[in-house]
Chain A
Amino acid sequence: MSVVVDISRRLGDFGIDARFESAGRLTALFGPSGSGKTTLIDLIAGLIRPDKGRIAIDGRVLVDTAAGIFVPKHKRRIGMVFQDARLFPHMSVAGNLRYGRWFTPKAERYADFNAVVDLLGIGPLLERRPAKLSGGEKQRVAIGRALLASPKLLLMDEPLASLDDARKAEILPYIERLRDETKIPIVYVSHSVAEVARLASDVVVLAQGKVVAAGPTGAIMRRLDLLPAEERGEGGAVLDTAVLRHDKAFGMTVLGSAAGEIRVPLLAMPVGAPVRTRIRARDVMIATELPTGLSALNILPGTIVAIEPGEGPSVEVGIDCNGATILARITEQSRQALKLRLGRKVFAVVKTVSFDRANTGAGLPAEADG
């Protein structure tokens, strides 16, 4: 499975000139608003035409302006989940879900109605009208509707942007299941570091209509300079870990990672389940010797591999903990006081309570990352 996009389009003052390739299971198009994410996804879906360029999915050419190819949107078989759900108001939830099925050739219908309904937990909603659904329910139905058209690729345009935090937390697990339990590749548009770090296998970073970086999620999220200023505090290391055991007495879960054991607030996941966790750079302290008399539970030994100037008084320090890189943001004053330099052995210290629901979610299954 691969997505190849090399496209340019001008619209008034705004231009997009983007080129990327991805073979990931969930590719995030990430960037601040106005960076061209939605334009790019509309181009892939066929909602707008490029001035010139080429789009191919799994070798199937959808657009090639040089060869005069433009497959219209209804023949692309690309599912789309819009930010505003766009459920048809004159049909029931079941009618909405079945809509795409009519137009899918029999041989290509792989999506099973009941399986999708179960996956998204929308069974109790089937008879209802879209106007009677909550924002989160609408979005789940919209995802189901796109899936049931048996698409070859699923595009999601900021599906969580218009929801509050509680609704986001309600939907995120469903998107994780979608990523892990179905075979459909997903391109996911977002401006939220939290969503991208939790969901994506690969990230394409956009700024002002151009691709500024692309690569695996861990590598991109470490580069705080790529993140928009207002989201920079959200950046940090993304670790793929697994549940080792639960400590019910203290309400904690112990995760096993390359860097060592990490204690986080109790997760409702079985032992052995993969967990994707993000450690914000601003939540990490650095100690030059094993600290004692400290409340923080996670103390990970490692070696400093990078020191980059950050914003204002801060520097960003990369610590290699047995192969996993953890990012810490500290002040330049502390760096000098502790005499931190490349190659120095240190301890990264992270409080358990700095892991919240937004940055711990189901991890990609082991075979996912190619």
Chain B
Amino acid sequence: MNWLLDLTPDEWNAVRLSIKVATVAMLFSLPPGILIALLLARGKFWGKTLLNGLVHLPLILPPVVTGYLLLLTFGRRGPAGAFLAEHFGIVFSFRWTGAALACGIMGFPLMVRAIRLSIEAVDRKMEAAAGTLGANPLLVFATITLPLILPGLIAGAILSFAKAMGEFGATITFVSNIPNETQTLPSAIYTFTQVPGGDEGALRLTLISIVISMAALVASEVLARRVGRRMDIE
């Protein structure tokens, strides 16, 4: 059993990096995820179908295509990449931040779907009641809508995290496979399978990957149940 826990420094780095990338991807996806879900659930505007399609694109396109598009847009010479690097000093290409961006975008449709469904399930009469009690629309959202969609937010966040933990195609295309910088768990496993005698390492990381994903799932279940009990929604 010892060989299981006896990770090399590079393997540890891959684990740590994966968790970091997935967490950052999830956290940064949340605000725009909520906003877009709100727009799609309640907005009435021209181009709503287009926006919906755009959000879902990463789900339909081959990940390599998404990765390549990211490279074109956010690479050093890409329009967005050059602009961000020049004005804000934010560089994505061949950095862990780029891996987080790729993971966030790949998980975005899953997150938006979960949040959108929970927003659509909110009884708008509750919001009207809060309005008659003096709360302005922003406060109604913060004190009524947001708490009521919390289970959906948790589900969306966990989906995004899990997707990020497993993301491979877009990440490797956009930021390559650099140990300690962009080599996440899936990339590391892939690397092991490409070298002779790498089976043991691949298996180790595979098991770790399973443990992390299961832990995230169980955590979300526990959290969602606690929120549900708090609200006594039968």
Which residues of A line the B interface, CB within 8 A?
45-47, 72-80, 82, 84, 86, 88-90, 99-100, 102-104, 129-132, 145-146, 149
Contacts and interface: CB of A to CB of B under 8 A. Distances in A.
A90 B147 contact: yes
Contacts of A88: 126, 129-130, 144
Given A74-B134, A74-B136, A100-B134, A129 B232 contact: yes
A289 to B, nearest CB: 58
B129 A82 contact: yes
The CB with the most chain A CB atoms within 10 A, among B123, B130, B133, B140, is that of B133
B175 interface: no
Contacts of B126: 86, 88
| Chain B interface size range | 20 to 34
A86 B134 contact: no
A99 B133 contact: yes
B131 A74 contact: yes
B132 to A, nearest CB: 4
Interface in B44-66: none
Given A84-B125, A103-B139, A90 B132 contact: no
A145 B132 CA distance: 11
Contacts of B231: 89-90, 129, 131
A102 to B, nearest CB: 8
B135 A86 contact: no
B134 A90 contact: no
A103 B231 CA distance: 23
A103 B133 CA distance: 7
B230 interface: yes
5 contacts: A74-B140, A86-B126, A99-B135, A131-B231, A149-B132
Interface string B122-158: 0101101111111111011001100110100000000
Contact of B233 (A72, A102, A131): A131
Contact of B132 (A45, A130, A132): A45
B130 A99 contact: yes
Contacts of A149: 132-134
Contacts of A90: 147-148, 150, 230-231
A86 B136 contact: no
A46 B133 CA distance: 12
A76 B135 CA distance: 11
Nearest to A89: B231
B132 A47 contact: yes
Contacts of B230: 90
The CB with the most chain A CB atoms within 10 A, among B128, B132, B135, B231, is that of B132
Nearest to B143: A99
A368 B123 CA distance: 39
A79 to B, nearest CB: 7
Given A99-B130, A130-B232, 14 more contacts: A72-B136, A73-B128, A73-B131, A76-B132, A77-B134, A82-B125, A82-B129, A89-B232, A89-B233, A90-B231, A103-B133, A103-B135, A131-B231, A149-B134
B144 to A, nearest CB: 6
Contacts of A46: 131-132
Interface string B99-138: 0000000000000000000000001011011111111110
Contacts of B136: 72, 74, 103
A104 B134 contact: yes
Nearest to B150: A90
Going nearest first, the 9 A-B pairs with the smallest beta carbon separation are A103-B134, A131-B232, A100-B133, A86-B129, A80-B132, A90-B147, A73-B131, A129-B232, A89-B231
Contacts of B233: 89, 131
B232 A145 contact: no
A131 B134 contact: no
A99 B134 CA distance: 9
Contacts of A45: 132
Nearest to B233: A89
Contacts of A86: 123, 125-126, 128-129
Nearest to B139: A103
Contacts of A73: 128, 131-132
Nearest to A77: B134
Contacts of B132: 45-47, 73-74, 76, 78-80, 146, 149
A362 B131 CA distance: 33
A96 to B, nearest CB: 9
A132 B230 CA distance: 12
Contacts of A145: 133
